[in-house]
Amino acid sequence: MQIHLHTTAPTTTATIWPLLKEQPLPEQVQAAQGDFKGDLNETQLVYSADGQKHWLLGLGEKPSSHDYLRAIRKLTYTQKSKFPAAVSLNLTGLPVDAIEAIVLGTLGGGYNLKLYHTTTPEVSPFYSQLGQLNLTVAAADREAAQQAIDRATIIWEAQKAMLDLMNAPSNYKTPQVLADWAVASGRTYGYSVTVMDHDELARLGYNALLSVGQGSENPPMMLVLDYNPANATGSTVGLVGKGVTFDTGGISIKQSTNMHLMKSDMGGAAAVLGTLEVAARLKLPRRVVGVVPTTENVVDGMATKPGDVITSYLGKTIEIIDTDAEGRVILADGLGHMIRHIQPDVLIDLATLTGNVIAALGYQAGGLFTQNDELSAQLQASGDRTGERLWRLPLWDVYKDDLTSDVADVKNYSGKPINGAIAAAKFLEVFTEKHPAWAHLDIAGMAFADTEFGQQKNATAFGIRLLIDFLTR
């Protein structure tokens, strides 16, 4: 699809009108608009006197960035079979800061979840190589709109790659596949990628990561992505993402009901991989380093057993109470690598870590854990701007008792049916060596969710827009 920017509406046979509640209706459809009110996600297809199609899309009274994105994405996804090759999108009555989200939503409407169908699905002409999106904005907004289009296009291409990776089944997505993607992206967009294989990890003592992967024939790896432009200024930001490409739970095996969805357990890695590519393509003037410990957590005779004690890269010992609490274990070595070798000014980890955070926040926000009030405010503000929301939960030291082990420095699971997300965050805090600007984002409820793309939960690419907004500001 090609995107063309206009300051006067072009002549096309189909126009989408995103409209705020109480916003005046366009002249072309005033006689045919029926009872359209402009409520959020309300849609109506009407025809003007000359036979042209007009889709009215309600945005509600005070839409967030996420509302803009989801509303236009749902409309374009569900109606794309009715679109001609060229569609106009008239944004003249909307704020300029909504353009990025609306373009992202429109591009997202063409996503195809049917990655492995043997029959080729019919492609809407609008989403083919010949498709055209004619975007109409006010003349005063033209420059800002073009910047938003360019930015949205780059973000969407990274998001789509991450959607495909996360939605891929585990037999198509091993740690090596993540490594290959990172290497190819780094080569294309000019940032360095180092892949630490099993033998190097063993030689250097990354035993926490190795312990989780030792039951799999696909060896674990550590990926280090370093975007360090010549004009870098300000703080170096380190991002650590959990990259479990499939999680059976190990010996503490999960129930079978939803285990097939555990191909999603690399949502933190997806956020980090996508963010590094976008940062490089946008040429952000800031050093950003991503570390992705990646592995499978499966079962065979060599798998780590409950009660085992392992020694992490930082030298701290961990008693494994529950092998299904594996994400925090591999993050211990990811954080350890970042602390020892990168020493970033700001350190953020992201992980689909606990079901407990979903019990607390549902599917509306990720959990945010940090001792740094300024960092918390910045991340929450970025979440509010992008619609990828975060909500802060406590990291009080009264929760340290959940980590007490009789035989090791810490244990990986408290055994309690309460405050599981907080206990996991307190565990990770041990491996930050009291970093003054560390934040943990538990995105279990946000990275894989119900969308219009499929009948069961699928990937959302959560975290990329959030982190790019944070890095930019």
Q: Kindly give the interhelix angle for 99-108 and 142-167, rounded to the nearest 10 degrees.
A: 40
- The letter for the amino acid at 282 is L
CB count within 10 Å of CB 203 equals 9
Q: How far apart are CA 389 and CA 8, in angstroms?
A: 35
- Count other Cβ atoms within 10 Å, centred on residue 334: 34
Q: What is the 3-state secondary structure (H, E, C) of the chain?
A: CEEEEECCCCCCCEEEEEECCCCCCCHHHCCCCCCCCCCCCCEEEEECCCCCEEEEEECCCCCCHHHHHHHHHHHHHHHHHHCCCEEEEECCCCCHHHHHHHHHHHHHCCCCCCCCCCCCCCCCHHHCCCCEEEEECCHHHHHHHHHHHHHHHHHHHHHHHHHHHHHCCHHHCCHHHHHHHHHHHHHHHCCEEEEECHHHHHHHCCHHHHHHHCCCCCCCEEEEEEECCCCCCCCCEEEEECEEEEECCCCCCCCCCCHHHHHHCCHHHHHHHHHHHHHHHHCCCCCEEEEEEEEEECCCCCCCCCCCEEECCCCCEEECCCCCCCHHHHHHHHHHHHHHHHCCCEEEEEECCCCHHHHHHCCCCEEEEECCHHHHHHHHHHHHHHCCCEEECCCCHHHHHHHCCCCCCEECCCCCCCCHHHHHHHHHHHCCCCCCCEEEEECCCCCEECCCCCCCCEECCCCHHHHHHHHHC
| Residue type (1 letter), 296 | E
> Could you tell me which of 266, 274, 263, 258 has the C-alpha nearest to residue 115?
263
Q: At what angle do helices 267-282 and 464-472 cross, to 10 degrees?
A: 40
Tokens 């740690």 correspond to: 175
Plot region of 129 (φ>0 → left; ψ -120 to 50 → alpha; else → beta): alpha
Residues with a known catalytic role: 254, 328
Cα–Cα distance measured from residue 16 to residue 173, given in angstroms and rounded to the nearest whole number: 38
